[in-house]
Amino acid sequence: HGNNLGSLVVLGDDGAGFYSERILHRRPYIHYIIDNDVGETPFSELVGALITGKPVRHVSSLVYRERGIIFRNPSRHFSLKEKNTIPDLNLIADSLPRYWENYISKFGHLHKGPVRPITINFARGCENAKKRCSYCSIKDLTVNTGNPPEFWKAVRLYHERYGINLFFEVDDSLTASPKYVNALMETMPSVLKTKINNREIQFMTYARISGLARKG
């Protein structure tokens, strides 16, 4: 792994933000770390800077090495309601069948019928943020939710275009924001509600037991 053939190696998301300076200090073949749990915009800024030759010191949330010295740029808070986008799966369309096959080979026994899974992420954060679990590697556990209609737009688009029928919302804990869950239920399109009730479309997510047991 010491030879990356001249490529630039960028890390981000869970884990990397906790140990960004240590990673850069011990792993000289890693060049940049995006220290932000909502890293889409900083990553785009970094790519833009590298393409145009502009200094990376203006890239938000970036930790990097320059002349042997490690620098840390200020981080910003990015609202998912403003920044969440619906990825164009055409970019990976050729790989989707293999992705589905791999999932089915490992987890197919958990489902009664054939599934075509995909991961989506329109919410982040956890209600246990003030007393995080010992194994948690997420740096910012502040609740940050996207736009509910955009969530359903993604579900409908992926289902109709690619036949995807199992959506894994990889939110840190969906029970962290009851208001967001209620908004999802209120904005669910009737055409999808029928498919969900008939189990033509299924969902998986993460949740805390304490959140599920909470009244109201």
- The three-state (H, E, C) secondary structure of 95-121, written as one string: HHHHHHHHHHHHHHHHCCCCCCEEEEC
pLDDT of residue 133: 87
Helical residues (DSSP H) of 108-177, grouped into ranges? 148-162
Q: Which residues are 204's β-sheet partners? A: 168
Helices and strands in the chain: count of H runs, count of E runs: 8, 9
Would strands 62-66 and 69-72 be described as parallel, antiparallel, or unpaired?
antiparallel
181 vs 137: which has the higher pLDDT? 181
Tokens of 135: 């194994």
CA–CA separation, 140 and 34 (whole Å): 13
pLDDT of residue 1: 47
In this predicted structure, the answer to whether residue 175 has a pLDDT above a threshold of 80 is yes
pLDDT, tens digit (0-9, with 9 covering 90-100), for 85-128: 788 999 999 999 999 999 999 999 999 889 999 999 999 999 98
pLDDT of residue 126: 92
Q: Contact, 70 vs 84, CB < 8 A?
A: no
pLDDT of residue 99: 96
At a CB cut-off of 8 Å and minimum separation 6, what does 43 contact? 10, 12, 34
Tokens of 141: 């556990």
In this predicted structure, the answer to whether residue 2 has a pLDDT above a threshold of 80 is no
CA geometry: angle at 44 spanning 1 and 41, to 5°?
115
pLDDT of residue 17: 84
CA–CA separation, 33 and 65 (whole Å): 10
Kindly report the pTM of this predicted structure.
0.82
Q: Contact, 151 vs 120, CB < 8 A?
A: yes
Lowest mean pLDDT among 2-6, 34-38, 44-48, 144-148: 2-6
pLDDT of residue 215: 59
pLDDT of residue 50: 94
